[in-house]
Amino acid sequence: MNQSAQLDRRFVWHPFTQMRDWLKREPLVIAEGRGAVLRDLRGREYLDANASIWTNLHGHNHPKINAAIRRQLKKIAHSSALGFANEPASLLASKLIAASNKSAGNANLKSQISNLKLKKVFFSDDGSTAMEVALKLAYEFTRRTRGRTVGRASPRAGSSVASPHPKFLSLDGAYHGDTVGAVSAGHIDLFHKAYSGLLFKTDKVMSPYCYRCPFNRAKPERADARDYRKCRFECVGLVEKKFAAQKKKGNPYAAFVFEPLMQGSAGMIPQPKTWLKQVSDIARGHGALLIADEVMTGFGRTNSQLKIKNSKLPLFACQQENVQPDFLCLAKGMTGGYLPMAATLTTQNIFDAFLGDYEEFKTFFHGHSFTGNQLGASAALASLEILQSPASALARKNLENVLRNELQSLWPLPHVGDIRQVGLIAGIELVRNWRTREPYELRDRAGIRVCETMAKRGVLTRPIGNVIVLMPPYCTTTAQMQKMIRALREAVTEVFIETRSTR
Ligand SMILES: Cc1ncc(COP(=O)(O)O)c(C=O)c1O
């Protein structure tokens, strides 16, 4: 075992990892990367089929991002945003604002959203902190602006005071990160139950998981469940009910928290067309703020099928359904997957609620040491420039088509129940029997076994339970994409079909 592997086993505790299993084997030590290829210390090559946990956009070792970081390094790596501005962070903020206020072409939208435009950027470090910032801002904004008429108990009956407990509504199965606020907005019991004593209470509402939806009356077909579902959008009705019930309690929801178009860690669960728009309108109608978590979906992951008129393709999932959030949370791909940096974009309205005289202490008392880090901002600027080039838009569109075509070859496998693709994200749900949708149990470790078998074939990804995730870097070639799908097909066959027939 090489020295790094030994040191890792001795000293490192890995995230989301059962360390007893980890310590049973020699870890794979990644030493280099170029494009979509990762190389380990022994010189073996692998395709990075989940873009290094959904972060990498343009491939590893990209010459333009490398050069931008090197240029910045010659000046300064980091100075504090507490008290000082810096060049790359201020430029990046302006570019993020410009990119976030584009719609996918709805002319009416401009007038509808002019006062909802995103105008301010709060930088932080990762997806969890971007969400934490949005939750805190929404909470405090609501307390300050939503007056509550106080009844008999108040000495000044009828006066307007801050709403004491602004409440949040989020989606069943939601994952928004691992800080305590972000966990509170999440609803994956497996991850979150242990910490329930630490959390504030949020409500959840059904998310549209068409493949396993109790309202979907369609029998399983060999197609994406969104395409053959038989329902009346009952899931949207439930959102309306939830908002109405909370309003009756006299404390309407302060904010609705969601991942647009596809929920990631919930199991790559895509939303049928118009769901996002419908529920956002309901939330707005009930006076709730919209918190869009685009930590996974942002920066071109979901929109490559839109018509490319020029390089000004919308980069965010919300824009595809012309939904204008009050908070847009970005991380992962923001620096092209190079450095930990995140941003929470918000409106002038929210910003203004925190303005006041110094001694009023209306300040947003929140921040991190590396807020607005120059190296991260330089990488993000370079990544944005690549993303907004016509060549990148075209490459994404082509790669999405290749992915769509290649995924078709998985339908004949009886252990593939659903294949869900949104842009350059795909989730393949493994089942015992596609005709009944019978799932594998956790102890079957179905997803893990398939991914381990794919790794032997030179393709690395990580499952979410029984769902295999494919999220290739945008520079992935057709041949590499074909290799990813081939490895998955062969792995499913080896794990479930060949092993069963030899038993
Ligand atoms: C949608 C979403 N939000 C937030 C997070 C948390 O991001 P981070 O791991 O960078 O804290 C994740 C991470 O997977 C995510 O997928």
Summarised one tens digit per residue, pLDDT across range 135-187 is: 999 999 999 998 654 333 343 433 444 556 899 999 999 999 999 999 999 99
**What domains sit in the chain, N to C, each tagged with a CATH number?**
3-63+392-495 (3.90.1150.10), 87-150+172-388 (3.40.640.10)
Ligand 1 within 6 A of CB of 295: yes
Residue 191: pLDDT band (50, 70, 90) is confident
For residues 85 and 342, give the distance between their C-alpha atoms in angstroms, rounded to a whole number.
17
% of the chain beyond a pLDDT of 70: 91
Ligand 1 within 6 A of CB of 135: no
pLDDT in tens, 382-396: 999 999 999 999 999
Q: How far apart are the first and last CA of the chain?
A: 34
Six-digit token string for 149: 């008429």
Comparing CA positions, the residue from 366, 280, 296 lying closest to residue 332 is 296
Six-digit token string for 105: 């072409």
pLDDT at residue 25, rounded to an integer: 94
Residue 202: pLDDT band (50, 70, 90) is very high
For residues 263 and 486, give the distance between their C-alpha atoms in angstroms, rounded to a whole number.
25
Rounded to the nearest angstrom, the distance between the alpha carbon of 290 and the centre of ligand 1 is 18
Six-digit token string for 15: 């995230």
| pLDDT, average across residues 41-49 | 97
pLDDT at residue 328, rounded to an integer: 98
Cβ burial 311-331 (10 Å sphere, 16+ → b, else e): eebbbbbbbbbbbbbbbbbbb
With a cut of 70, say whether residue 331 has pLDDT above it. Answer: yes
Q: Tell me the pLDDT of the chain averaged across its residues.
A: 92
Residue 319: pLDDT band (50, 70, 90) is very high
Ligand 1 within 6 A of CB of 176: yes
pLDDT at residue 189, rounded to an integer: 85
7: number of Cβ within 10 Å? 11
The answer to whether 346 touches 69, Cβ cutoff 8 Å, is: no
pLDDT at residue 240, rounded to an integer: 98
Ligand 1 within 6 A of CB of 294: no
Residue in 332, 334, 422 to alter for ligand 1 test, most ligand atoms within 8 A of Cβ? 332
Distances in whole angstroms, Cα of residue 80 to Cα of each of 72, 372, 463: 15, 8, 38
| pLDDT, average across residues 415-443 | 96
Distances in whole angstroms, Cα of residue 350 to Cα of each of 116, 118, 227, 252, 401: 10, 10, 39, 18, 40
pTM for this prediction:
0.94
Ligand 1 within 6 A of CB of 48: no
The owner of tokens 């908002």 is 243
Amino acid at 306: L
- 297 CA closest ligand 1 atom index: 1
Amino acid at 477: T
The angle that helices 63-75 and 374-387 make with each other, rounded to 10 degrees, is 150
- 259 CA closest ligand 1 atom index: 1
- 54 CA closest ligand 1 atom index: 14
What pairing do the DSSP bridges indicate for beta strands 45-48 and 37-40? antiparallel
With a cut of 50, say whether residue 410 has pLDDT above it. Answer: yes
pLDDT in tens, 334-391: 999 999 999 999 999 999 999 999 999 999 999 999 999 999 999 999 999 999 999 9
For residues 437 and 426, give the distance between their C-alpha atoms in angstroms, rounded to a whole number.
19
pLDDT at residue 157, rounded to an integer: 39
For residues 50 and 296, give the distance between their C-alpha atoms in angstroms, rounded to a whole number.
11
| pLDDT, average across residues 462-468 | 97
For residues 424 and 402, give the distance between their C-alpha atoms in angstroms, rounded to a whole number.
10
